Amino acid sequence: MMDLIAMHDAPVGPFAVRVTETPLVDATLRAALEAHHIESFGWAMSCCRRRRDEAENVLQIVYLKVLSGKAVFDGRSEFRTWLFSVIRRTAANERRLAFLRRLYLSRIPPPQRREEVEVEPRLQQELAALSARQREVLQLVFYHGLSIAESARVMGVSIGSARTHYERGKQQLRRRLQ
Amino acid sequence: MNSQDDLKTRFSKVRNQDQATAPLFGQVLGRRRRAAPLWIAVTVPTLLVALAFSLHLKPPADTPPLLDWSSPTAFLLETPGGQLLRELPKVGNPNLEIPRSSK
């Protein structure tokens, strides 16, 4: 992980530029991505409303972004927190672009959704009824075991805001599940 | 079981399912891209529209220059006696050109 942190602290995004690069970085990045792959898949599933094909697509874009240096880890947070925030932003971006894709590429058939039996369908149903922020913070805390502060960093909001979303979301979810 | 534990249990069931069905890292990284890149979908129609506009706005070769153009109603601005206002009178020459009626 130290090799990752040794990279520079350029902003993450399409204009991020890698200043220094060691031959080990790509292999280290790949290993770090692979180590967090299962967690990342679960988070991508949540960001894509449990649509598996979309989640895999988002995850692939994220991996390519990271490995090509378009998204650069700056070492200011844990690698997992940073990776989750990249997945979250990429999923949101893909959702926005999906509309244009449908408009221009309507002749391309939509991807086949694999029929899978979901466990806890009631939980998924009630989570979907919550606001996006509440859903995200509950997923990060209960599914991934992140703290409220870490969740706030992933979501790009203040800790106070994340705490409010957490409390309200938890109350609503409890009420709905009863 | 309190509601906090209940939520944890429910989420952990989903987590276990995801772990069991998650694709391999290599499969995700090497999967075929789903759709054509968006920039193709945006750039191609834009270029076609720009081409159509450039062809449409180009003037044909036999069009007269703009400076030679005059309004079809320009003759209405020629008032009788307007020559008096435009030219200085000369001694010996009548300033007015009075058309002679041919009888």
**How confident is the prediction along chain A (178 residues), in pLDDT tens digits per residue?**
444 544 443 444 444 444 444 444 678 889 999 999 999 999 999 999 888 989 999 999 999 999 998 888 988 889 999 999 999 999 999 888 877 777 666 555 555 555 566 778 888 889 999 999 999 999 999 999 999 999 999 999 999 999 999 999 999 999 998 8
Q: A157 exposed, middle or buried (CB, 10 Å; 0-12, 13-18, 19+)? A: middle
Statement to judge: residues A137 and A66 lie in one domain: no
Statement to judge: residues A9 and A46 lie in one domain: yes
pTM: 0.65
User: Would you call B18 and A177 a contact, using CB atoms and an 8 Å cutoff?
Assistant: no
Distance CA(A56)–CA(A91), nearest Å, equals 10
Statement to judge: residues A2 and A47 lie in one domain: yes
The total of structural domains in chain A comes to 2
Dihedral angle computed from the Cα positions of residues A137, A142, A147 and A152, in that order, rounded to the nearest 10 degrees: -10
3-state SS class at A130: coil
Per-chain mean pLDDT for chain A: 82
Statement to judge: residues A83 and A39 lie in one domain: yes
CATH number at residue A143: 1.10.10.10
User: Would you call A59 and B28 a contact, using CB atoms and an 8 Å cutoff?
Assistant: yes
Model ipTM?
Answer: 0.75
B23 in Cβ contact with A128 (< 8 Å): no
For residue B12, give Cα distances in angstroms to A42, A83, A140, A141. 11, 21, 12, 11
CATH number at residue A70: 1.10.1740.10
Statement to judge: residues A90 and A169 lie in one domain: no
Best to test chain A binding among B6, B12, B13, B28 (most A CBs inside 10 Å): B28
State which residue of chain A sits closest to B2, comparing Cα positions.
A174
User: Would you call A138 and B7 a contact, using CB atoms and an 8 Å cutoff?
Assistant: yes
pLDDT tens digit sequence for A100-147: 777 666 555 555 555 566 778 888 889 999 999 999 999 999 999 999
- What burial letters (b/e) apply to A36-68, b meaning 16+ CB within 10 Å? bbbbbbbbbbbbbebbbebbbbbbbbbbebbee
Which are the contacts of A9, defined by CB distance < 8 A and separation ≥ 6? A74, A75, A76
Statement to judge: residues A17 and A105 lie in one domain: yes
Residue with more model confidence, A37 or B61 = A37
Statement to judge: residues A106 and A145 lie in one domain: no
State which residue of chain A sits closest to B45, comparing Cα positions.
A104
Q: A77, A110, A143: which is the final residue of a domain?
A: A110
Nearest Cα to Cα of residue A39 among A95, A96, A82: A82
- The radius of gyration of chain A from alpha carbons, rounded to an integer in Å, stands at 17
C-alpha distance from A5 to closest chain B C-alpha (Å)? 23
Give me the half-sphere count of Cα atoms (radius 13 Å) on the Cβ side of residue A48.
24
Residues of chain B contacting A, Cβ within 8 Å: 3, 6-8, 10-19, 21-25, 28-29, 31, 33-36, 38, 41-42, 45
Statement to judge: residues A33 and A64 lie in one domain: yes
State which residue of chain A sits closest to B40, comparing Cα positions.
A104
Mean pLDDT is highest, among A15-19, A103-107, B37-41, B82-86, for B82-86
Domain that holds residue A150: 117-178
